[in-house]
Amino acid sequence: MTTFDLKGRTAVVTGAAQGFGRAIAERFLQSGADVSLWDMDADTLASAARELASMGKVSTAIVDVSSLEQVEAATAATIKASSKIDILVANAGIAGPNHTAWTYPVDAWRQVVEINLFGVYYCCRSIIPHMLERKYGRIVNIASVAGKEGNPNASAYSSAKSGVIALTKSLGKELAKENIAVNVVTPAAAKTRIFDQMTPEFHQFMLSKIPRGRFLEIQELAALVTWLSTEENSFSTGSVFDISGGRSTY
């Protein structure tokens, strides 16, 4: 396993109790970072923190990222406890149900967008001013290949993830001269708990679109995100990093 250098860095990872977020947090700890795990599932978060504590300095915050007030409170608490935030990985998200766009329940559509897009925006909005004061930062937003291509029967998810891509591009340009790199990763599907929100037919549809013929392994995503979070990533910003097994080639 490649060793990345995150020694002396403090990272916030949202949706960190399981799946992508937990794998990223683990790789960060292995690379020497202190990690604040943010998640709204208190029990799973506590369990993850206990299991990761032996790897390095771990703190937690119970946060619903669709609430700006909760995000701002967690940001202030993390800075008070750790004195700084060098890295943000905005990973928290939900898939939502599968429906055609014209039959999609409006409340469910809104919830997907509020968590997946507004949640990323709120985290960036809250943490970037602190990074500007310190003249350093690395932000990695987790979108999806669905944000590039649009998945049928997943209009809310696809729309939100497309928004995350555009938000990242805007932030990358706004912060390009501030030593704050902002990039977005667009993974293909992986077997995380988000799968529980989708139908078996939709699972098979997603698999059929991946030329490698398998789902993404969460450790593969964690490796890419970790490099993007290092000081060594000193030039790429506002960029989309595809990890789709050949599904998306642009």
β partners of residue 242: 186
Q: Which residue is listed with tokens 């007030």? A: 69
10-14 and 137-142 beta bridge pairing: unpaired
CATH number of the domain residue 131 falls in: 3.40.50.720
**Catalytic one of 104, 121, 122, 157:** 157
Q: Which residue is listed with tokens 């995380």? A: 192
What is the rounded distance in angstroms from the CA atom of residue 151 to the CA atom of residue 102? 14
Q: What's the rounded mean pLDDT across residues 140-169?
A: 96
In this predicted model, what pLDDT tens digit does every residue of 104-126 receive, in sequence order? 999 999 999 999 999 999 999 99
- 213 or 234, higher pLDDT: 234
Number of folded domains in the chain?
A: 1
Considering the domain boundaries, does residue 169 fall inside one? yes
Reading the block at residue 81, the tokens are 């406890």
Our answer to whether residue 157 is catalytic in this structure is yes
**Does the pLDDT of residue 153 top 80, yes or no?**
yes
Average pLDDT over all residues of the chain: 93
Considering the domain boundaries, does residue 1 fall inside one? no
Considering the domain boundaries, does residue 41 fall inside one? yes
CA angle 224, 226, 231 (to 5 degrees): 115
Reading the block at residue 53, the tokens are 């504590």
Domain that holds residue 137: 10-243
φ and ψ of 9, to 5 deg: -100, 150
**Does the pLDDT of residue 55 top 70, yes or no?**
yes
In this predicted model, what pLDDT tens digit does every residue of 177-191 receive, in sequence order? 999 999 999 997 766
Considering the domain boundaries, does residue 249 fall inside one? no
Cα–Cα distances (Å) from 92 to 79, 115, 216, in that order, read: 20, 7, 17
For residue 197, the model assigns a pLDDT of 60
Q: What is the largest CA-CA distance in the chain?
A: 49
Considering the domain boundaries, does residue 3 fall inside one? no
Q: Cβ distance 89 to 14 under 8 Å?
A: yes
In this predicted model, what pLDDT tens digit does every residue of 22-50 receive, in sequence order? 999 999 999 999 999 999 999 999 999 99
Q: Which residue is listed with tokens 């700084």? A: 84
